[in-house]
Amino acid sequence: MPPIADSPAIIVARFLRSNSYNDTLAAFLHEAGLPPDAGSSFPGALSVEQILTEKKAYDLSANFERLGVDDTQKKWTLPAPSAPTVVELPTSANLLQSSIEYLHISGGSAHAQPLILASTADRRLNVLTPDTENLVRSHTQLQDSPILSYTVVRKRFLICSSMSGKVVVYDSLKDQLVAHRRDHAKYVVHVASWESGDHVWLATAGWDQKVLLYECRITEDCITFEDPVGTIQLPSNPEALLFRREPDSNCLYLLVTRRDSTFVYYYQIAEDELLSLVSKPVTMPISGKQNLAPLYVLLAAEAPTDCIHPNKTAMSAMIGQALA
């Protein structure tokens, strides 16, 4: 049986041949029973150096959480979570997203208060108090289809995306819808925001294989939600979004994951250029990518479905590795 092109013996022979270890190569070929031309290099041939590089990348990905020098500050505070508490919702519909957010609500106190938000498959957005678990509100008319994702801006504006492709802005202080758009064909699965001065960067991920970037202006009492300023066309459906500044350069990046990929894709948000655009939207080029599982063979549609990373040291390393 002829040797496999990238078998261990062939890779060793290729290393010896490429580094001119002729005597060692001859002895190795004889003992391994390989033909005289075994280990020849060709485009795409696997090498020892490539294996080592991929192993280092894998170790780096696996150890991101341990890259910080102040790990003692990243442990659970006491008392740490130990026993879960089951929160009762008005209906038994499937839960789509839940989180605790600080939010101003009409008729409430003058200060933003922590509230549990939970969207369900029956189009409801439930609002509860975390300490008593009392239902504050159960919105049923915010969207025309189930709310897949939401984000809170300035502790007041709730931006919700839905299965129909519609994105709405709800003013929780006035208890009314203030804006809406439908720029995606269907399934806006994730919406993310980043507050910067008097404006907010907003990104939406739709299962029409697009990510859209918006620049929303905020005044004392309102928010604008106009045409997108940037667009990212993908070869497959996006899954999760996250805005983060790279600590060393202070550049803002949008991190994107795709449904069929183990990579995180990085897109730099050129803030000054985007704010001065005359013709919109512009196509945003990719800045880099980072494989979260370099040695994983993708046999099914498996990908990161959410993004959260408070560790700035690790984020700096991830972005640096992706842009290298």
C-alpha span between 319 and 243 (Å, rounded): 12
Q: Which domains does the chain have, with CATH numbers?
A: 8-61 (no CATH), 85-323 (2.130.10.10)
What one-character DSSP code corresponds to residue 66?
G
Say which residue, 299 or 71, is predicted with more confidence: 71
Say which residue, 274 or 296, is predicted with more confidence: 274
User: pLDDT grade, residue 69 (50/70/90)?
Assistant: very low
Average model confidence (pLDDT) across the chain: 84
Element at 101 (helix H, strand E): strand 95-103
**pLDDT given for residue 311 in this prediction:** 44
C-alpha span between 163 and 121 (Å, rounded): 10
User: pLDDT grade, residue 282 (50/70/90)?
Assistant: very high
- How many alpha carbons lie under 13 Å from residue 239 in its C-beta half-sphere? 17
Residue 113 has pLDDT above 80, yes or no: yes
C-alpha span between 225 and 168 (Å, rounded): 9
Residue 313 has pLDDT above 50, yes or no: no
Contact 143, 123 (CB under 8 A): yes
For the chain, give the number of residues. Answer: 324
Which of 223, 216, 224, 142 has its CA nearest to residue 176?
142
C-alpha span between 51 and 293 (Å, rounded): 14
Q: CA-CA-CA-CA torsion for 76, 243, 99, 112, nearest 10 degrees?
A: 90
What one-character DSSP code corresponds to residue 107?
T
Contact 203, 254 (CB under 8 A): yes
User: pLDDT grade, residue 267 (50/70/90)?
Assistant: very high
φ/ψ (deg, to 5) at 179: -165, 155
C-alpha span between 186 and 166 (Å, rounded): 8
Residue 165 has pLDDT above 50, yes or no: yes
Q: What is the pLDDT of residues 1-14, one digit of tens each?
A: 455 667 889 999 99
Q: What is the pLDDT of residues 28-40, one digit of tens each?
A: 999 999 998 888 8
